[in-house]
Structure 1
């Protein structure tokens, strides 16, 4: 879930491991880890002081320029350019997630935390649901984060990690995930299906969860972490967009 122009940003898609943001704080520049993504400018774009088309323009970035990314959502990308951190419109760039470099030390690094009670046996859908549920009380919601070591995740990096632990690789970002698999009508959803919502701009996907059956879905929410939500509540019903089966 996210805020737009400091009130409700569009979907968080990438990327700052140390980005400690809540639902109501917008993108921050105070706690960034090393960039783990780059943005290639597809068409010349204004470099702005804030995430708004009315924000001051600090410069113009030419086509083909590759910029270090600090954080991003579906609308704006926070980048480093000419010694400053500022924003470019996501419509003009392509963001590439970087692979972390191998650790220089020969010692064995600690693995990312695994589910506390991984599913044994049963269908893949049940394993996905059980894996998702195992993170309740263990995940901290952080906008734009995919910190698997500390389990500081947003809604889509959480679903991405759950599927990854079950041998299925899906991209980060609710919009990207909504392009996968097969469309499933609301009344035909089954456990393990991804469900997508619009929580800011009407009609635009910017939140994702995993349907677990019996009118419930599990998702990672600001200020709450991983929780089971009532899929049939008036709030979620009014914000529902689509379901996909991976």
Structure 2
């Protein structure tokens, strides 16, 4: 068995000698004289082969991303106000009206939703309501702000609505109409726009101009 194996081992060693250079010649010669020639030659072949180690796989770093902090609700109970107002869509306009049963005018509509949502009693007319809270520029309007209009020329405030976002407001427009959502980009209402006011539930500024 060993006699049969030795020529094969010698042949393998010679192949290694010429393929890998003479750096291992002495070691190969010694190995051929041992009984475990084949195992040793193969081990030498493995050790003498210069191959670069496989690159380590990059370990993905876990990046902790914090969710965006919720923006403060600058309008106090804006969600409640808008929800209350939206629930009255379609209610008829009525001059001097202050209830859902008989209809609303613009300021009566504001009185109703502020009382229902924030427990606040607003003045009766839009001109008086325009003195509450703090002034807000049109570019800074936020949902829940009151928006005022001069529908009778450049004189006093004569109309009010509730800003609900996306350049829209909800209001009781006029006789023959119902509570509806209108864009501030509307040609008529855009030309009559005066300013916005922000009224907070727990802000004393709502009582002063």
Q: So what's the TM-score if we normalise by structure 1?
A: 0.48
2:94–2:102 CA contact under 8 A, matched in 1: no
For 1:130 and 1:182, the matched residues in 2 are separated by 22
What's the counterpart of residue 191 of structure 2?
238
Q: Which has the higher helix share?
A: 2
Q: How does 1:74-223 map to 2 (within 5 A)?
A: 124-137=77-90, 139-146=91-98, 148=99, 150-166=101-117, 167-222=119-174, 223=176
Q: For 1:189-233, what per-residue CA distance to the aligned partner results, in whole angstroms no more than 9, with x for missing partners?
A: 000100000112323210000000001000002212110001122
> For this pair of structures, how many residues does the alignment match?
122
3-state SS of 1:225 partner = coil
Query: Counterparts of 1:127 and 1:218 in 2: how far apart (Å)?
Result: 14
User: CA contact under 8 A between 2:88 and 2:100: conserved in structure 1?
Assistant: no
Select the structure that is richer in strand. Answer: 1
CA contact (8 A) 1:203 1:241 kept: no
1:174 and 1:149 map into 2 onto residues whose CA distance is 18
Q: Which has the larger radius of gyration?
A: 2
Distance 2:97 2:120 in 1: 20
Structure 2: stretches of 5+ with no match in the other structure: 1-75, 200-209
Moved beyond 6 Å, runs of 4+: none
Q: Distance in 2 between matches of 1:237 and 1:140?
A: 23
Q: Superposition RMSD on alpha carbons, in Å?
A: 1.4
Deviations 1:143-167 (A, max 9, x none): 1222x26242111000110000011
